[in-house]
Amino acid sequence: MSTRSITTAKSIIYSSHGVPQDVIRVHTFTIPDAEGDSVVLKSLGFPINPSDINQLEGVYPSKPEKTTKYGTEEPAAIAGNEGLFEIVQVGPNVKELSVGDHVIPLFSNFGTWTSHNVAQEKDLVKLPKSLSVVAGATISVNPATAYQLVSNYGLEKGDWLIQNAGTSGVSQMVAQIAKSKGINVLSVIRDRSDFDQVKAKLEAQGATKVISETENGDRAVGAEIKKLTGGKIKIALNSVGGVSSSNIARKLAPNATMFTYGGMSKKPVSIPTSLFIFKNLTCKGYWVTENTKKDPQSKIETTEELVKLYQSGQLKELDVNEHTWKLDEFSDDQILELLKGVVENAYNGKQFIRIV
């Protein structure tokens, strides 16, 4: 007779949408033994991303299906899209994964704000255990977005790109990845009292030049940028919108492309008509979630390349505000208090939960 083990999961779930702190709750359920090609997972850590917050608010286009499979009275979903897991049990038909391996979900809407979960082997991507918990748990969104934007649209060594929101997670990754490929980056950041210090940090990471939003709108600075780049900036990466988007678009070369992957200002992308007519500007959207749905292999290949960059030291994990979830000590009330506090501060730097 085979011996059955019991895995008890503590998960942050929600059944409705609204203010995130009001809709999340802690739910305990039992995960059955791994069967077939499934594996049982223990979480090592997860970040809190803007998309996670937007899902809880009900305003994000991609949402997990709510279900009663977790033993809830009403359909619910586990929050979170990104995280790192350790395999603690494998089913008899699992071929490539083993107990102790570190893995990440292949697709979004996995439900990562949890102590444990279960998945099929085909829906996981293996990572080397030498990769840090923070790097592994945050590899799927910001670094993957940055890598694909830098690598997939024709940029070559010596080329230029411009990006706004230069201090964001994606932008900092863009600068590092571009530097590894010999691509020049012009980063635009908000005006701030510590501009010189932030500029120095970003340039040390890989940005070729850093300017403020005020400078971004200054014609004289624009002329200097044209001289510096030879007027050959091929790609703009926009995650702000509004006036910022029009100002980076003005610096693009003829036949260039602007990719919009975010809208931090919550204002429409504003592009002068003349850029379309006289520069043949192309504007496109970019969403790593949709890219992965259409081409899962692209996520696997992107992850492999990012791991190489981390291992070579050409890519550094981003700074996070780390919090600890003590699995064997915290009561449900303590877990909920921790998550509510982290969610409340989700836009004050990258928040990260390490489970120990």
Task: Name 345's Cβ contacts closer than 8 Å, sequence gap at least 6.
Answer: 321, 351
In sequence order, which residues have a C-beta less than 8 Å from that of residue 192 and are 6 or more positions away?
A: 198, 212
Dihedral over Cα of 241, 245, 246, 247: its sign: positive
The CA distance from 117 to 78, in Å, is 10
**Residue found by looking up tokens 């192309």 in the block:** 282
State the Cα angle at 332 between 330 and 333, rounded to 5°.
95
85 touches 121 (CB < 8 A): no
CB 17 within 8 A of CB 57: yes
Residue type, 26: V
Write out the catalytic residue numbers.
60
Q: Distance between CA atoms of 260 and 34, rounded to whole angstroms?
A: 41
Distance CA 64, CA 17 (A): 12
Using DSSP's 3-state secondary structure scheme, residue 302 falls into: helix
Query: Closest Cα to residue 185, out of 164, 205, 207, 203?
Result: 207
Indicate the pairing of strand 252-260 with strand 209-212. Answer: unpaired
